[in-house]
Structure 1
Amino acid sequence: MHSISRSNCSLHADFQYHLFSVIYSLVFIVGLVCNLLALFILTCKVQNTTQSYIYFINLCMVDTIFVCMLPFRIHYHINGNNWIFGDVACRITGTLYYSNIYLSIGFFTCICADRYIAVVHPLTYIRIKVSHYSIVITVLVWALAVALVVPLVLGGPLHNTDGNRTTCFENFTVHDYKDRMAPFNICVLVFGFVIPFSIISICYPLIAKRISQIQASIHKKKALRTIYLILLISIICFLPYHVTHLLHFLMRQELFASCAIANSIYKLRRVTLALVSLNSCLNPAMYYFTSSTYSCQLLVQKLRARRSKKVYTIYDRDMAALSVCTYRIKP
């Protein structure tokens, strides 16, 4: 239950307890199995790795850490948003929760930029492929995510008592939202979503257009399927969350006087908070479509008990051949 001083109304969404419990339980079971398997494949079975595999490994690690934190959130929501694990655990799990969102978006953007260079500017990609720029970029992504989230975690109470319940990352006061929370919300919206999502939205259609022109490749549909999957995850998981996050921020700045509107925004935000966690289940699908080594294919095929299939990636071992195909496209 949350109070809005201007409209003198309370915000509630009783369905959230069941919604979060079910979604988080599903994400924990499916996400843990899929990400551990994907992490094993990416680190132990994949050979001839490319720059993008560094981003995939980091993304997989982020998702694995995230799903391991979910049992605390499941217990919290099953018990009616009552936190019993103390302030330190609240800060740690809250940090992991929101870090997962922005680290995932960050590595999606890195994968996008890397593929854009590889497909649209193949000769440039060949020249920079031998460098270690991806490691530097990975460190920068982690540093940016930490810089966005840590100030929120370290500044002020996050573990509050509301009647007979103890909440975690909820029930911030109007003063918190207008002072301490305002810079955080603005930064995460601009640097954590608007800029990365703009890069993804612009680059991937250009990549898809160039791949569709490569008539020499009979596997281009699978490459396009990988691109569309990343776009789908971004649109389903991250776009709704950040739209409602913006509306929720404006509501907390008391720009909406209507209690009905405030209640609708609050309920919608609970739904999108559940949706954003699904990215940890959907991301492993990308690892399948971008696995190009025979050993990786063989392991996946044995687990699925299906006949042998070749898995295509625009980062195939024959990258040079793809580059030549791309470069021969008529203008």
Structure 2
Amino acid sequence: MNVTPTPNSTNGPLCVDIEDSPVSDILMTVYILAFVFGLTFNVLTLYPILQQVKQQNVLGIFLLNLSISDLLFIFTMPLWINYYRNDHKWGLGVKSCSVAGFFYYSNMYISIYLLCCISVDRCLVVCCPLRFKPHRTSRYAWVQCAMVYAVVTIIHVFILIYDDLPDAHDDTYNSDHCYETYPMTPNVAVFNMIRVGLGFILPLLVLGVSYWKVLATVGKSPGLSAQAKRKVRLLSYGVIGIFSVCFAPYHVLLLVRSLVRFFYSEGFHCSFEKTMHFHFSGTLALSSLNCVVDPVLYVLVSNVVRDKLILCCRSHEQKGTEDCKLTSYKKESSNKGALI
């Protein structure tokens, strides 16, 4: 990507001048794939998840809220596709940029914290089932989901209200970028370091400890079959995989950028931003793939839900419009195949 310094009469030199580049087409392709597959998988798995919720399955409630967050983000994704199709030119006004960014970052952190809720829930169920079971109700799950949505939404609404919108939407000299304004201010650098700590490092520690205890407990349990142990390991490694592939690269580069801005001179910072711009944009696009991975990992890993999807597909193939009822499964079969 060709980046050159451009004068800016209000904020000093503009670090990165984003010009037309094939990189935009690569990023657009990533968002198109995330939109198509994310929408398909979330819609496909929504019905089985709703059936789990009707049965007051706690993990089903977490999954439903995860799908809702993913779908809200997916519906704004055409805006980002259009942005990269036009070579990093927004063209839709200041407020629409801020709203699109609000859903982007809200979804990211709602997903992260819901993954934490799921990991802690799995840990308590596996490690201390008798002591925890009386308190593990559908209300318990809904309250946790509501708290996650409320905290993340309030924080981002606060940022929208008190943030200077032109900082998110850089239309200086008709550049018309969205959330690609340089140089980063020291205050933003401090905020980003806090965001990385509370929004990524802390949840990663919670995930790591939770699934470490789950794997240790499951490995010593003689009552679980090899298939059940395999499913637990798959879910555990899958969650860590989501963080490693979707969220870790973005937060690592965000932390590095913030540290460079906070501890080095502006001249070095601008040179660094020119070098890292494409890589950072790529990690941000990569984070959008979590809306594709979430339903695949957490729904298809369940024997019951997977079998219901297969049954539904076969039913439609054989009978056309006949509805695929999930209530035909016996209660004990449902409990045995609960999402673990």
Asked if TM exceeds 0.5, the reply is yes
**Retained in 2: the 8 A contact 1:105–1:196?**
yes
Cα distance change, pair 251–300 in 1 and its aligned pair in 2 (3 A) = farther
Q: Distance in 2 between matches of 1:173 and 1:259?
A: 7
Q: Which residue of 1 is the match for residue 75 of structure 2? A: 68
Query: Does 2:274 align with 1:263?
Result: yes
Give secondary structure in 2 for the equivalent of 1:80.
coil
Query: Does 2:249 align with 1:240?
Result: yes
Q: Which residue of 1 is the match for residue 327 of structure 2? A: none
Q: Distance in 2 between matches of 1:2 and 1:46?
A: 53
Q: Which residue of 1 is the match for residue 320 of structure 2? A: none
Cα distance change, pair 258–98 in 1 and its aligned pair in 2 (3 A) = closer
Q: CA RMSD in A?
A: 3.1
CA shift for structure 1 position 85? 1.6
Q: Distance in 1 between matches of 2:5 and 2:152?
A: 30
CA shift for structure 1 position 267? 2.6
CA shift for structure 1 position 130? 3.5
Cα distance change, pair 205–228 in 1 and its aligned pair in 2 (3 A) = same
Please, which of 263, 271, 275 is the counterpart of residue 286 of structure 2?
Answer: 275
CA shift for structure 1 position 302? 4.5
Q: Distance in 1 between matches of 2:5 and 2:220?
A: 56
Please, which of 231, 235, 238 is the counterpart of residue 222 of structure 1?
Answer: 231
**1:125 partner amino acid:** F
Query: Does 2:340 align with 1:317?
Result: no
Q: Distance in 1 between matches of 2:304 and 2:123?
A: 22
CA shift for structure 1 position 189? 1.4
Query: Does 2:313 align with 1:303?
Result: yes
Q: Which residue of 2 is the match for residue 110 of structure 1? A: 117
**2:281 partner amino acid:** R
Q: Which residue of 2 is the match for residue 178 of structure 1? A: 186
Instruction: Indicate the percent of aligned positions where both proteins have the same amino acid.
Output: 26
CA shift for structure 1 position 117? 0.3
Query: Does 2:92 align with 1:85?
Result: yes
CA shift for structure 1 position 197? 0.9
Which stretches in structure 2 are left out of the alignment for 5+ residues? 318-332
Cα distance change, pair 283–60 in 1 and its aligned pair in 2 (3 A) = same
CA shift for structure 1 position 23? 0.2
Q: By percentage of residues, which structure has more helix?
A: 2
Which stretches in structure 1 are left out of the alignment for 5+ residues? 307-314, 323-331
CA shift for structure 1 position 213? 2.2
Give secondary structure in 2 for the equivalent of 1:83.
coil
CA shift for structure 1 position 194? 1.5
Query: Does 2:137 align with 1:127?
Result: no
Q: Distance in 2 between matches of 1:282 and 1:183?
A: 31
Structure 2 matches for 1:136-155, cutoff 5 A? 136-154=143-161, 155=163
Q: Distance in 1 between matches of 2:180 and 2:56?
A: 42
- Equivalenced residues, count: 309
| TM-score, scaled relative to structure 1 | 0.82
CA shift for structure 1 position 73? 0.5
Cα distance change, pair 304–232 in 1 and its aligned pair in 2 (3 A) = farther
CA shift for structure 1 position 300? 3.4
**Retained in 2: the 8 A contact 1:2–1:11?**
yes
**Retained in 2: the 8 A contact 1:148–1:184?**
no
Give secondary structure in 2 for the equivalent of 1:216.
coil
CA shift for structure 1 position 317? 0.7
Q: Distance in 1 between matches of 2:4 and 2:334?
A: 52
**Retained in 2: the 8 A contact 1:204–1:227?**
yes
**2:285 partner amino acid:** A
131-140 or 64-73: bigger deviation: 131-140
Please, which of 156, 159, 166 is the counterpart of residue 164 of structure 2?
Answer: 156
Q: Distance in 2 between matches of 1:8 and 1:167?
A: 12
Q: Which residue of 2 is the match for residue 189 of structure 1? A: 196
CA shift for structure 1 position 246? 0.5
Please, which of 10, 32, 36 is the counterpart of residue 43 of structure 2?
Answer: 36
Q: Distance in 2 between matches of 1:103 and 1:17?
A: 27
Q: Which residue of 2 is the match for residue 24 of structure 1? A: 31
**1:189 partner amino acid:** V
